[in-house]
């Protein structure tokens, strides 16, 4: 196949691409933070001894883990307003969906990290008179966190990839901007190649970091 | 008050599901005394010891350590986290598996209770930690991570960590059972010196010679009951109950001078 590659024309779209990168990164960071916060609450609820709360939160997690994010996004944007009467902007619908989706995975990682700490650590802390919250903050979480960091970084990588689904709601993320450029320039090959390369450049260091952290943990 | 018991348990009962592990246990430990708790595995020794500092909350019965007491038979509502913590702060406990905090140095392990629970200043706690580490022979290991220590050293740090709370009593749950034989002696020596200083101690042990020589009294438990209790030398060398005799017969050879 003799295709004449020409990336030069993309320069004229650099501000469009810039906006796309900004949206992708902002959504990733924003929903990683909100997802971690909600994920902490999810983990605490799953570990609590209130049966009803635990069952409710477990159900919530399963719904988000067992349906595709794309379906959740579309449902949140098109179906939720019909059910509740609350109109959401595409950005808000996307933010909420990615937060809850992320939280259901972050929450399980956090819970797993907490229960992986040996029960003898709880015994030892209690035996010197530590309160539950002191034990959690000074003994359990510092140990759990080390084990949680590699899977949390991996989940954040997935979270960034998932932001590409925002394009279906016309949120101007990197992929959506690519679609715009393609329809204006009729050069999908260069455009989508560049989009893929930008994702790679952002994610490669992050995945390397996850590997390094994992290697350090397993020592 | 010297004749009054330092640890007093009356009618303590505990079940896990429908397994009754402690059946109406009554036990006293006088101030300054050392009581050894012996018995076959699964007889409820650990559960009893853990009831003394409320790591296991009994279903029924009265528990007093020093001037703190809780009656679980009459209590309207079970003690909460705050009450339990305050109670436990006055007792020291040492576990078979050491349970040092692996993310803290040796010195930080010992300082943790004084700083976090007793709200001592770091300097004050560090000075105390150095005294105690000196006492258990580990002054030079203050900044070492627990991972770098031998089992015997870890257990001595665990003892220092418990002592840092200036407890009324010390509880030992098979403190030497996880150790290589050559490391048992160094831990027993520390326990022995605590006995010499008049620390009130209740210890679960399989070291019969040590129990005979260091304990004032020995309690033999089986199936959640106290079967025999008496003066240490008498129970170990000349038990009155057939069950005690049968149990001790497994330890011949381990009963030489220690
Ligand atoms: N947290 C628990 N949950 C259920 N069963 C337990 C628990 N702790 C101890 N047990 C059971 O209680 C019995 C006595 O255990 P334990 O007090 O550890 O005995 P010992 O220390 O004398 O070996 C055993 O049958 C054990 O399985
Ligand atoms: Mg035991």
Tens digits of residue pLDDT in B46-103: 999 999 999 999 999 999 999 999 999 887 778 999 999 999 999 999 999 999 999 9
Cα A110 to Cα A108: distance, rounded to the nearest angstrom = 5
Please identify among residues 113-172 of chain B the ones whose CB lies closer than 8 Å to any CB of chain A. 113, 116-117, 158, 161-162, 164-165
Res. B257 pLDDT band, cuts 50 70 90 = very low
Which of A127-131, A214-218, B25-29 is predicted with the least confidence, judged by mean pLDDT?
A214-218
Choosing among A123, A125, A127, which should be mutated to test the B contact, i.e. which has the most B CBs within 10 A? A127
**pLDDT of the residue at B3:** 62
Strand partners, B36: B203, B218
- Predicted confidence (pLDDT) at residue A88 exceeds the cutoff of 50: yes
**pLDDT of the residue at B78:** 83
Could you tell me the pTM of the whole model? Answer: 0.86
**pLDDT of the residue at A213:** 83
Instruction: Tell me the per-residue pLDDT of A142-161, one tens digit each, with 9 for 90 and over.
Output: 999 888 988 999 999 999 99
Q: What DSSP character marks residue A8?
A: G
User: Where does residue A182 rank: exposed (0-12), middle (13-18), buried (19+ CB within 10 A)?
Assistant: middle
Res. B252 pLDDT band, cuts 50 70 90 = low
Instruction: Give the HSE-up count for residue A144: Cα atoms under 13 Å, Cβ half-sphere.
Output: 24
Note whether B101 contacts A: Cβ–Cβ < 8 A.
Answer: yes
């Amino acid at each position: 196949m003799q295709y004449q590659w020409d990336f030069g024309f993309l320069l004229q779209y650099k501000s469009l691409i810039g906006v796309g990168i900004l949206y992708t990164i902002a959504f990733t960071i924003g929903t990683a933070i909100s997802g971690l916060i909600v994920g902490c609450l999810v983990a605490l609820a799953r570990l609590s001894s209130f049966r009803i709360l635990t069952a409710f939160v477990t159900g919530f997690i399963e719904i988000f883990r067992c349906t595709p994010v794309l379906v959740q996004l579309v449902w949140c944007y098109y179906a939720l307003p019909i059910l509740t009467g609350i109109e959401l902007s595409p950005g808000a619908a996307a933010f909420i969906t990615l937060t809850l989706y992320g939280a259901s995975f972050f929450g399980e990682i956090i819970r797993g990290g907490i229960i992986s700490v040996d029960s003898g650590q709880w015994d030892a802390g209690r035996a010197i008179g530590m309160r539950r919250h002191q034990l959690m903050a000074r003994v359990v979480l510092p140990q759990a966190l080390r084990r949680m960091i590699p899977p949390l970084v991996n989940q954040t990588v997935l979270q960034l990839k998932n932001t590409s689904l925002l394009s279906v709601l016309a949120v101007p993320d990197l992929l959506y901007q690519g679609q715009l450029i393609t329809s204006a320039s009729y050069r999908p090959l260069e455009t989508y190649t560049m989009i893929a390369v930008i994702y790679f450049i952002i994610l490669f260091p992050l995945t390397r970091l996850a590997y390094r952290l994992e290697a350090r943990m397993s020592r | 008050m010297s004749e009054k018991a330092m640890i007093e348990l009356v009618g303590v009962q505990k079940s896990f599901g429908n397994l009754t592990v402690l059946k109406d246990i009554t036990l006293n430990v006088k101030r300054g005394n050392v009581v050894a708790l012996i018995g076959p595995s699964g007889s409820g020794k650990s559960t009893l010891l853990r009831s003394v500092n409320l790591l296991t909350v009994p279903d029924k019965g009265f528990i007093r350590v020093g001037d703190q007491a809780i009656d679980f038979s009459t209590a309207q509502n079970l003690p909460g986290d705050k009450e339990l913590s305050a109670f436990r702060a006055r007792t020291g406990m040492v576990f078979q598996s050491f349970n040092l905090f692996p993310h803290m140095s040796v010195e930080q392990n010992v300082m943790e209770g004084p700083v976090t629970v007793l709200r001592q200043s770091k300097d004050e706690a560090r000075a105390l930690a150095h005294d105690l580490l000196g006492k258990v022979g580990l002054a030079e290991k203050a900044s070492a991570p627990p991972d770098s220590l031998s089992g015997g050293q870890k257990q001595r740090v665990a003892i220092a960590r418990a002592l840092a709370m200036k407890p009324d009593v010390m509880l030992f749950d098979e403190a030497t059972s996880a150790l290589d034989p050559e490391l048992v002696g160094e831990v027993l020596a520390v326990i022995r010196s605590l006995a010499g200083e008049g620390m009130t101690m209740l210890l679960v042990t399989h070291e019969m010679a040590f129990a005979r020589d260091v304990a004032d009294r020995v309690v033999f438990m089986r199936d959640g009951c106290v079967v025999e209790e008496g003066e240490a030398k008498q129970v170990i060398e000349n038990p009155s109950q057939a069950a005690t005799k049968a149990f001790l017969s497994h330890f011949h050879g381990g009963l030489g001078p220690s």
